[in-house]
Every structure is written in structure tokens, then in C-alpha cells.
Amino acid sequence: MTRSWWMTAQLILFAAVLAVPAVCRAVDLGISSDTIVRVYERDDRNGRGRSLLPVYEFMRIDYGSVTTPGLSLHAYGWGRLDLRDSHEDGDAEGDLLYAYLEYIDPDRDHQVRIGRQYLFEGVMRESFDGLYARTELVPTVALSAFAGMPVGAGSAAGRSGDLIYGARIVQGQRGRYDAGISYKYVANDGSRSEELLGADLSLILPAGISLFGHSTLNLLTGGWGEHSYEARIPFASMEFRPFYQRYRYSDYLNDRSGASRPFRFQTALGDRVEIAGAEGFWYPAESVEFGGRYKYLTYDRRFGNAHMATALATVRRGIFSEAGLEFGRVQGDLAENRYYLGRGYLYGDFTPWFATGDVTYVRYDRAIYGENSALFVSAGLGRKMPDPALSLKLSVDYSNDPYFHKDYRGTLAVTYAFRR
């Protein structure tokens, strides 16, 4: 099965659904478009300058009722055209991120999706072309399964021999707990590329206390790739969230040929990372939030250990206006992991105008490439047009850090959101 065949099939499916609106109970059409023009002027540490003028278009279409079960179609894609200079990978690029037809039965007990789709369920966190189905076997037990071709697999031999399938079964009671077991198998060019088995749990306890967690076992290496667990403990106007995460890159990342995961080079380092810490939030008023966060990171080989502590404050006005401050300290074994971090941001809604601002400053204990600080500044101004579906925003960014001497960026964003 070739890529062009599959894309053609999805386009035919898309057109067929648009042509038969009566299939849906209550047909809604939603179209959103984000056109972004960016200007980059960048000088790196070697004195080389680059000037880029890329134009991006992100378009999303939803057809069918979004409030009631039934038949619906969803598509989202992007494209890029460089008007000046070029990226290393070409002047134009684009991709279809998802395009699938979905059916949900009136009682929401059964769900079917066909087409290109993202699936975040159990150990499945990938994009694939194929079929997904979910059904409730009994009121407390649900089974889901999927099969198709992985989108991100390498293509040394085209898509021939590429395959992905898996399933998840979950038992639970709404508002009390869910416990699931999931499995995923991936083949690339006919060879077994990835095989995972996972368990996940969510548990709601008295007094509003909740627990969430999941673990993943790599069946190719025989090792645990990931453990991630978190608790949320409310008390009066405060909430406390302790957490623990553990990753072993050689078991967590797929380093097989054609694997789609980024950072798979990390598997060669054989590192194990443990992150333990907690977050706390205090809400003295509806529009005011104070918080603190602490993490202790342990790398058993490459980066050593590091403490990270931050404090933050946020003030909101109305629904859309917000301003915040954050200050933190990272104290690590390596020089590049010892620094102070400060950040301030705002989003102001003064209908029909709106404004954004963001300043981030990092002060290193020891200079990196001759620089002991990094600065990022961003300011933007936008306006919602008389047609509420259309808005314009112009923003300017500046950054200077140990890796890029000066970096100027300008962005013009035109957003259009239509629904009927």
C-alpha cells in the first residue's frame, strides 16, 4: 500500500462525507485557518547571518455535530513556503496531521475512527493511518483496539512491511477509578521495531484526593522504560501535588532503524533519569494564584544531579487577561546547570484590541561560550476585526544567548475561525 494511495483514499472519504450532510443528526461546519508570516534575522557565534521569510498555513476542518454523538469528520494540516533564503530541508513543506471519519453511537458506548489520527491511550502516543474502535463490553469494562500503518516510520522500503496494532482494556467506575492494561506492536519494513506493554491507573479517593500513574515495559529490551506517578491533594484553598518519574532511555526510546521518536540518540548514552518533587498552589482569591515547584533530577551518567526550585504568582482579570511572574534557581553538578531564571508575562484583553508580552532572563554562574546570560523579549499587539471570526496579531521577538549572538523575529498572524 503506497502513501499516495492512502492519501487519495482519505481525500475521497473527506469529499464523500461533505456531500452527504443528511447522514449527521445536526450538521455543524467549523473551519479555522492560521496564516503566519515570520521574519528571521539571526547571527550565530561564528559570524554567519541568516535571513528567512517563511509563510505557514495551518488549517483545520470539523464537519458534523460536536455536541451530540453521530458521524463527523475532522482534518488538520499545515504547509510552509519560504519566500527568502531556505531551510536546509527545502523551500516548501507540508503535512496532513490528521484526517479521520468518526462515529459515536447515541449512548456513547461505541466509537469508531478511520483515517489518519493521533491516539493517546495507554502506551499508544503516535500518529497512524488506520482503524480505531472502542466499545463497552459491560458497564464497567471497555475494550479498544487499533491497526494500521505508523505515519512516522522510516521509509527505506516505502510503507511496505510497515504495521502497527494494539489494544487496551480498562476496568473502572466513573468518578472512582480506572485501571488499564495496554499493548502496542510496531513493524518497520517487515522488522519488529517496537513492542510495549503498559499499565495505567487513576484513582479518586475521599476528600478530593486523586492519584494518577502509568508504567511501560519494553518487550524488546525486557526493561522498564517509564514510571510516572502523581498525587493531587486539595486542602482548603490550596493544592499539593507530589510526583515521581523515572526513565531509562535505552528502554524508553526506540533506537531501531526507522523509529520515529526524536532524541532516540539518547539511547546510546544508556542514561537513567529520575525526577522527584512537588508542586503547591494557593488560591487566596478567584483571580489570584501563588505557586511553588521543586524538582530533584538525577542522571546516572551524563549530567549528574540538579535541584530546581521556582516560585510564581499569577493575577487574572476577567476571562482572558492575565499577568504572571516566576523566579527560580537551578543548582546542578555541571556549570551549564547552575543559573537563576526570571520570567514575566502578560496577556491583556481590551476588546477589540489585545496585547501580549513576555520577558525571560537567565543568569549563569559561569560563562558559556563567553556569555554569562540569556535574554528573550517578546511583545505583540492584535485586534479582533468587526467580523468576530477574524483577528490579526503582530509580534516582535528578540533573543541573545550563548548559542546565538542576536536573533530577531517578527510574526504576523491572521486567524480565521468560521462555524455554522
pLDDT at 420: 74
Q: What residue type is 255 in one-letter code?
A: D
* CA dist., res. 309 & res. 169, Å (int): 39
C-beta of residue 354 within 8 angstroms of C-beta of residue 383: yes
* CA dist., res. 97 & res. 13, Å (int): 16
pLDDT at 369: 82
| CA contacts within 13 A on the Cβ side of 388 | 2
Q: Which of 160, 119, 116, 102 is nearest to 7 (CA)?
A: 116
CB atoms within 10 A of CB 250: 18
- Residue ranges in the chain whose pLDDT is less than 50: 1-2, 21-25
* CA dist., res. 124 & res. 121, Å (int): 5
Query: Counting runs of H as helices and runs of E as strands, what totals does the chain give?
Result: 2, 24
* CA dist., res. 341 & res. 339, Å (int): 7
C-beta of residue 3 within 8 angstroms of C-beta of residue 109: no
pLDDT at 261: 56
pLDDT at 403: 77
pLDDT at 14: 55
C-beta of residue 328 within 8 angstroms of C-beta of residue 312: no
pLDDT at 149: 93
Encode pLDDT of 369-406 as tens digits: 888 899 999 999 999 887 668 899 999 999 988 877 77
* CA dist., res. 226 & res. 215, Å (int): 5
> Which residues, in sequence order, are bridge partners of residue 70?
104
Query: Which residues does 139 contact at the CB level (< 8 Å), separation at least 6?
Result: none
* CA dist., res. 97 & res. 115, Å (int): 11
* CA dist., res. 372 & res. 362, Å (int): 8
C-alpha cell at 392: 490579526
Q: What residue type is 344 in one-letter code?
A: G
* CA dist., res. 309 & res. 311, Å (int): 7
CB atoms within 10 A of CB 115: 24
pLDDT at 1: 43
Beta pairing class for 224-235 and 238-248 = antiparallel
